Structure 1
Amino acid sequence: MVAVAGLLLVAALIGVNVSRGRRGQSIGMAALGLVRAPGLGVRSVAALRRARVDVDALVVRPRRTTGIVAVLVAVVVGVAMIAIAIGSRTVTLPEVAHAFLGSSTTYNDIVVRERAPRAIVAIAAGLALGAAGAIVQAQTRNPLADPDLMGVTRGATLATVLAIALGGLTSPAEYTVFALLGALIVTTLVIVLAETRGDSLIALPLIGAAVSSVLGSATAMLLLLDQTVQQSFRRWMIGGLSDGPLSTYAVPLAAIGVGLVIAMVCAPSLNTLSLGTEMAMSLGTDVRRSRIGGLLAVGLLAGAATAACGPLAFLGLIAPHTARLLVGTDHRVLLPASALIGAVALLVADVVGRSVARPAEVPAGIVFLLVGAPLFIALARRTAGTR
């Protein structure tokens, strides 16, 4: 119940105005290319740079961001230990620590061989979707964007089901390539379609919802035509974690690692891309290269996470908004913070799912749907109210 309360608290915090009572401007102004400068009022970034004002110093970024990121790392480790301890046979935290240190052989098999791989996959997938969500929101300048709402995870899901149904592939190591290709294709398609509609904040989620609906229907049709695939991968389609050796997830984990490296390389350019294409070009950003790099990172991260855990809705939406509350809008810090929060959220969802219905298990995908749906509605109402 504590974990559920924690998830609900995160949802409530999203509605808080970050700039209320704080030094600096709100996240909304930064996303629109506006900055509040002392003595100058609210001005555009370009105007302030022409006036030789240090814009970077005005972007909302708490002083102790390094400490916040360090705390998030510690939280990830702590929640992972709890996730490993909980199962059909409960293991105490000291016993988990002893198993990892090699000083206990009693629980070594349970902890190291059975439960640790699940926690590692949860951390990797959470990191991937948290980072992917931050990139998508920066590139589209849309606070409602995330890989799932844009249809990216649906593209990866459809490609994976095709690989399973037509190619007979059965493990993440085999169908990850198809998931990556599906995610990359859909990411490119949705962003191109959204850009033809201009800079409207509502265009991208609508287009993404339409694409996601079409892909979801195609996936459902394939599953209806092949009952064997439906029975074998019904749980995977809901989205969640499963037990298995870490070697099974070697390819998805490697793809996530590459995607995170690309994401961090692209992080500085996201600060200018979030201000708009014209503004980014005027500030000297290679927009084409930055967009391609971001697309590649999102495709790798969302595709690999979907291959490993199935489609997880709203995780890429929750993590970036929570990260902005903690570290501000500088993507060099926001990106790793969002990734870490994604890892914590997925671990917590997994713990909740295994705790509320013992000995049965509620998939993490259902937990995120229960929390994410009302959160998305609240964000949509807030965005509409600020237009």
Structure 2
Amino acid sequence: MMKRHPNLILAILAVVLFFLGVINVGIGDIFIPPLDIIQMLTGQGDVNERYIVFNYRAPRILLAILIGGALAVAGVIMQTILNNSLAAPDTLGVSGGAAVTALAVVSIGPSMSVFSVSFAAFIGGALAAFFVYILAYKDGADPVRLALVGISVSALCGSGVELALLKMNANAQTSLLWLNGSLFGRSWDQIQTALPVIIGAILVLLLFTRTLDSLKLGGQVAAGLGVSVEKVKIALLGFSTLLTGASVAAVGMIGFVGLISPHITRQLVGSQHRYLLPAAALVGAVLLLLADTIGRSVLQPLEIPAGIVTSLLGAPYFLYLLYRESKMGRQSVS
């Protein structure tokens, strides 16, 4: 029944995201009640509390929404064009490749512009995806083989990240940011850099919803409908890599949001991409914001990076998907 009312689901997700954001903003050394937060949105409330909210807490909330949405949309695109339920920025090595090249640029020139770091992340993510696909392709890209190769490339990139951090003599906080993904200490600077890239890429991808629906039916069907399949796939993969690169450049490596969100969203609104893409963006934003809320509140004053929380939630689900795909493969052979 829910799949018949996707607009209602979109509205519900937006409301859930809003109230979760209000709750998250209130968490900290100084707790601010949700009603006070809502009053601040109308220009009222304590001046000191407003300063704390709008200068320190609001940026990380908005960044969580942006990054969660970007990774979820990137996951939808990758799963559709590869016809692979295990495809995602982290399982294809895109996140790892983006992180290692971004840090390499920073280590070479600490004064590099934010645009240079983001561009390097995009190039690294694209190269990682290319190598994963080449190494995994054998009479087609088998889902399990693609996932296993992606994990291997991600591990290799993770080692590269650690080497880059050692070269930079980075402190523990910086290392934690890039290795586990953290929203701690994020400011409006990251918002200004990530916002135009992420929003722009998502808006462009929304223009391809019918094309994505055609690709979901198979390459031959899409070609019969007039789609230039290979060119479109490369373009779509480029935009999904751009989303991933912008996300990694802003907060480091966030695992499993891009893998889980598309599966949850399909259960809610179905597989039509005109609903799937915006709903996935909202689901991804909710997941990352929820992970950040849990990380900030469970062991106060200690803060658990959001990437660690998403990994704890996502790893069991990934193993389940891996088992399911392997089982389906054995059944098709028999």
Same fold (TM over 0.5): yes
1:136 alignment counterpart: 78
CA drift of 1:173 comes to: 5.5
CA drift of 1:282 comes to: 2.2
Q: How far apart, in 2, do the equivalents of 1:66 and 1:340 lie?
A: 12
Residues 151-170 of structure 1 correspond to what in structure 2 (within 5 A)? 151-169=93-111
SS in 1 for 2:3: coil
What's the RMSD between the two structures over aligned residues?
2.0
Residues 50-61 of structure 1 correspond to what in structure 2 (within 5 A)? none
Q: How far apart, in 2, do the equivalents of 1:227 and 1:247 lie?
A: 22
Q: Is the 8 A contact 1:314 1:368 kept in 2?
A: yes
Structure 2 residue runs without a partner (length 5+): 330-334
* Closer/same/farther in 2, CA of residues 232 and 273 from structure 1, 3 Å limit: same
Q: How far apart, in 1, do the equivalents of 2:17 and 2:114 lie?
A: 24
Match 2:303 to one of 361, 366, 386: 361
1:92 alignment counterpart: 33
Q: How far apart, in 1, do the equivalents of 2:267 and 2:131 lie?
A: 31
Matching of residue 198 in structure 1 with residue 140 in structure 2? yes
Task: In structure 2, give the amino acid aligned to 1:276.
Answer: G
Residues 179-258 of structure 1 correspond to what in structure 2 (within 5 A)? 179-224=121-166, 226=167, 228-229=169-170, 231=172, 233-237=174-178, 238-258=180-200
1:64 alignment counterpart: 5
Q: Is the 8 A contact 1:140 1:274 kept in 2?
A: no
1:79 alignment counterpart: 20
Q: How far apart, in 2, do the equivalents of 1:79 and 1:215 lie?
A: 33
Q: How far apart, in 2, do the equivalents of 1:97 and 1:172 lie?
A: 33
Residues 1-387 of structure 1 correspond to what in structure 2 (within 5 A)? 62-106=3-47, 107-169=49-111, 172=114, 175-224=117-166, 226=167, 228-229=169-170, 231=172, 233-237=174-178, 238-387=180-329
Task: In structure 2, give the amino acid aligned to 1:85.
Answer: G
* Closer/same/farther in 2, CA of residues 303 and 227 from structure 1, 3 Å limit: closer
SS in 2 for 1:229: coil
Structure 1 residue runs without a partner (length 5+): 1-21, 23-60
Q: Is the 8 A contact 1:173 1:249 kept in 2?
A: no
- Cα deviation, 1:41-88, whole Å, max 9, x if unaligned, reads xxxxxxxxxxxxxxxxxxxx8221111111111111111111111111
CA drift of 1:322 comes to: 0.3
TM-score, length-normalised on structure 2?
Answer: 0.92
Q: Which has the higher helix share?
A: 2
Give the ranges of 4+ consecutive aligned residues of structure 1 lying more than 6 Å apart after TM superposition: none
- Cα deviation, 1:82-114, whole Å, max 9, x if unaligned, reads 111111111011111111211124321011121
TM-score, length-normalised on structure 1?
Answer: 0.80
- Cα deviation, 1:198-251, whole Å, max 9, x if unaligned, reads 142223212212322222222223333x15135462121211102343134312
- Cα deviation, 1:246-269, whole Å, max 9, x if unaligned, reads 134312222111211122122221
Q: Is the 8 A contact 2:133 2:141 kept in 1?
A: no
CA drift of 1:284 comes to: 2.2
Task: In structure 1, give the amino acid aligned to 2:109.
Answer: G
Q: How far apart, in 2, do the equivalents of 1:88 and 1:356 lie?
A: 13
Q: How far apart, in 1, do the equivalents of 2:124 and 2:88 lie?
A: 16
Q: How far apart, in 2, do the equivalents of 1:239 and 1:216 lie?
A: 12
Q: Percent identity?
A: 35
* Closer/same/farther in 2, CA of residues 87 and 172 from structure 1, 3 Å limit: farther
Task: In structure 1, give the amino acid aligned to 2:309.
Answer: V
CA drift of 1:191 comes to: 3.5
SS in 1 for 2:302: coil
User: Which sits farther off after the overlay, 366-375 or 97-106?
Assistant: 97-106
| Greater radius of gyration (CA) | 1
Q: Is the 8 A contact 1:256 1:304 kept in 2?
A: yes
Q: How far apart, in 2, do the equivalents of 1:241 and 1:145 lie?
A: 25
